[in-house]
Amino acid sequence: MSQPFNPLRGWAVQRSDIVHVGNDLRRPECILAESDGTLWTADARGGVMRIDSTGKQTLIAQKVDGLDGSAGTTTDSDLVLGATLPNGLAFDRDGNIVIANFGTDAIELMTRDGQSRTLYDRVDGNPLGKTNFVLTDSKGRIWFTVTTRQVPWTRSINEMTADGYVGLIDDRGIRIVADGFVGTNEIRFDANEEWLYVVETNARRISRLRAAPDGSLSDREIYGPRDLGGFPDGIAFDSYGNLWITLILNEKLIALTPEGDVLTLLDDGVYGALAVYEEHYAQGTTTPELMGACKGTIAPMMASVTFGGADLKTVYLGSLAGNTLASFRSPVAGLPLPHWGKK
């Protein structure tokens, strides 16, 4: 039986349809959306920014031992968790926010009023490494990624280090369940949680692994092209089965169809700067300055994609260098995450 027509074929985001949400955001890399219209974004001041359905913003800063890390009481250099830099976010079963902290190299838990604690900063007796992303599943387990164990972490880009991994936190504690990835970034499950999809940013590909009920992973394979033609960062499934992918530096939003076709949905690339970066990438000589020159204007350094709105057809783009969230309407709804519909 043939599949119904894919609603993304022949469709692209029109710049005139893009609406910017929020203001004065700081590195809104990851976005969580709730069914009542509330958005939560990672914030470089140490915590998350809450944006309610009316647009009202509230910075929820991480608090430890009664000290407040909010921008109103401390400077950015005085944040209580050290060089805190919330990156990936997920809700746990109780509605608390799990944080992959790219600054503290830890997996942290923050209540909605900011009370924070470290869940884990070591595994098998060793430092976790550069924690990047967190994901919770229907069983309430926490999955997380570590981009690299290199110090400084930027070495992994030029050296193409395959030391990234996927970890799992459950009632057995913390453990590594898959290793050997090249720049591990975001992860997502398919609709039935049968496969876990893993972004390998520095290898420019998506891999996937079969997930067993006990959390073990097997049958690793590349999903889609061996080279996406850019640097994937964030991913999200829609209800049809398309995997939406942000290409950071390329400043593109693409979709990988179930048949393996790549569809370009939005292109904000700065191609002169990107060509220079690509030359250095091939030679292993990239620098942060070269990366910064590639940023576009819609969602500068496009890093993540999130479905929201009551019908899950509003798309939000997270970014590393933006101060708002670019949003637009999609012809197909997103795949709901486990927290969707919970109050």
Token pair belonging to 335: 């795949």
What CATH number has the domain bearing residue 134?
2.40.10
Residues 160 and 213 in one domain: yes
Show which of 64, 92, 124 is a domain's final residue. Answer: 124
Domain of residue 154: give its range.
129-223
Give the number of other CB atoms < 10 A from CB of residue 5: 9
Of the candidates 13, 84, 41, 100, the one whose C-alpha atom is nearest the C-alpha of residue 318 is: 41
What is the arithmetic mean of pLDDT over 139-168?
A: 96
The kind and range of the H/E element at 272 are helix 271-283
User: Are residues 100 and 165 both part of a single domain?
Assistant: no
- Structure confidence by residue, pLDDT tens digits, 105-118: 999 999 999 999 99
Confidence of residue 80 (pLDDT cuts 50, 70, 90): very low
Position 68 scores a pLDDT of 45
Same domain, 161 and 236: no
150 and 234 in a single domain? The answer is no
Q: How many structural domains are present in the chain?
A: 3
Residues 117 and 141 in one domain: no
In 3D space, the residue among 138, 46, 148, 143 whose CA is nearest the CA of residue 101 turns out to be 46
Tokens of 262: 């790549």
- Summarised one tens digit per residue, pLDDT across range 241-251 is 999 999 999 99
pLDDT in tens, 13-50: 999 999 999 999 999 999 999 999 999 999 999 999 99
Which position has the higher pLDDT, 341 or 226? 226
Distance CA 36, CA 205 (A): 34
Q: Which two tokens stand for residue 21?
A: 């949400």
- pLDDT given at position 71: 36
Structure letter (DSSP) for residue 92: -
Q: Which of 124, 105, 116, 121 has its CA nearest to residue 62?
A: 116
% residues pLDDT > 90 (the chain): 92
Question: Residue 306: is its pLDDT beyond 60?
Answer: yes
Residue 240 lies in a domain: yes
Is residue 302 one of the residues assigned to a domain?
yes
Identify whether residues 238 and 218 lie together within a single domain.
no
Mean pLDDT of 62-81: 45
Residues ≥6 apart with Cβ < 8 Å to 184: 132, 133, 145, 146, 147, 148, 164, 165, 166, 198, 199, 200, 201
Entry pTM: 0.94
Specify whether 237 is located in the same domain as 330. yes
What integer is the mean pLDDT of 199-210?
Answer: 98
Q: Which among 124, 151, 171 is the end of a domain?
A: 124
Residue 104 lies in a domain: yes
